Amino acid sequence: MQELSLSQGNFQRQEQRLEQRCELMQYLSLLGPFRWIHQWCEENPLSRKTYKKSPFEFDYFQIPLEIARKAGGEADSSPGWFVMFEDGTPFKLVVEGLLPDWTLPSIALHEHGEELSSGNHFMASRLEFASVEKDRKTRDYVRAINTAYPGKFVDLLEPVEIDLPEEIIEKIEERMHKNQSVEDQHAAMMAMVDRFEIPSSVKKLAERYHEHNKTIGDLVECAARQCERMTEFYASSIGRGFDREAFGKEVVKSINWNFSAIPDAYMRVARPQLLKGYEEIFKKIVYKSLACAIKGSPYDLRMKGNLEEAIAAAKRGEDAAEARILV
């Protein structure tokens, strides 16, 4: 019995290490555009900026929106980014053109907060708004964010952490412990966040948007359950003359119906993390369902190659045949 227990323990540790390794590889695979941007910033020294407002002092990079778009990936989808490269190099990035220029130092402070908190988006958001409140700019800042990036308010209510791999978090913390200035700034951030009370006007806005996000999440889960049931039904009917194309159309119809049930006003304030998870859910649903529908078909490879197109088509509500995602 003891040997079995030890064997199970070893298996669990190996499984955990494998999972951590997969998380790291997935994280590193997303850094391609940021490596390119980092190189561009090194070649364009004027992109380096310094934030210096007691008790915080740090360097960050500020780039034009067209450079973020040229880099590809998701670099142009957010006004600010914090990434840690595998060699332990932190990279704080602010993208021009998505928000008014006067707000960009506050965005940079948010990214610095993510480094100080090992990727804690909730803490970084509260630091950002606490600083704005301290500077007596909350009203104008709220108006700017609400116009261009309203999903940001929800981050003030939920203690959501960025899903960073363990090895990357260790590198962030190792760097912090080696740098007294960074440790001091971490302590200052914690004190500032602890004292911060969300202004009532901002809290009401955040709570309303939080409910919108909850509604989106409920509809996504509903769509997922419906499509899973349809997939299971079809799987049990293989070989009994079930119409594969009709099944595929029903899956896409179900997805479209659930998408259409989400008001545009709700989608406008959806948190980026929710939308990313939302897209991943539907990728799995569309892939699983349609792969099942065209099982054994020579179109299988073509469908895989057009998976992104399939998702986009489902979102637009286009006819499945026109989107070339069904046989």
pLDDT tens by residue, 236-264: 665 555 566 666 667 667 766 766 777 88
Question: Are 78 and 152 part of one and the same domain?
Answer: yes
Question: Are 185 and 301 part of one and the same domain?
Answer: no
Q: Show the DSSP H helices in the chain as ranges.
A: 2-29, 32-43, 65-71, 104-116, 121-134, 138-148, 166-178, 180-195, 200-237, 244-260, 264-268, 272-293, 300-305, 307-316
Question: Are 64 and 145 part of one and the same domain?
Answer: yes
For residue 234, give its domain range.
209-316
Question: Are 154 and 259 part of one and the same domain?
Answer: no
Question: Are 111 and 215 part of one and the same domain?
Answer: no
Question: Are 239 and 130 part of one and the same domain?
Answer: no
Q: Are 192 and 124 in contact (CB under 8 A)?
A: no
1-10, 70-79, 100-109: the lowest-pLDDT one: 1-10
Question: Are 65 and 180 part of one and the same domain?
Answer: yes
Question: Are 68 and 172 part of one and the same domain?
Answer: yes
Burial of 107-129, coded b for 16+ CB within 10 Å and e otherwise, reads bbbbbbbbbbbbbbbbbbbbbbb
pLDDT of residue 319: 39
Query: One-letter amino acid identity for 34?
Result: F
Domain final residue pick, 135, 169, 198: 198
**Residue labelled with tokens 């988006």:** 121
What is the tens place of the pLDDT at every residue in 135-191? 999 999 999 999 888 888 888 887 766 667 888 888 888 888 888 888 999 999 999
Question: Are 234 and 85 part of one and the same domain?
Answer: no
Q: Is the pLDDT of residue 288 over 80?
A: no
196-205, 221-230, 297-306: the lowest-pLDDT one: 297-306
Percent of the chain with pLDDT over 70: 67
Question: Are 82 and 172 part of one and the same domain?
Answer: yes
Percent of the chain with pLDDT over 90: 36
- Calculate the alpha carbon distances from 18 to 12, 26, 298 in Å: 10, 12, 34
What is the tens place of the pLDDT at every residue in 272-285? 666 666 666 666 66
Domain final residue pick, 166, 198, 230: 198
Give the count of domains, the chain.
Answer: 2
Domain final residue pick, 198, 224, 257: 198
pLDDT of residue 270: 79
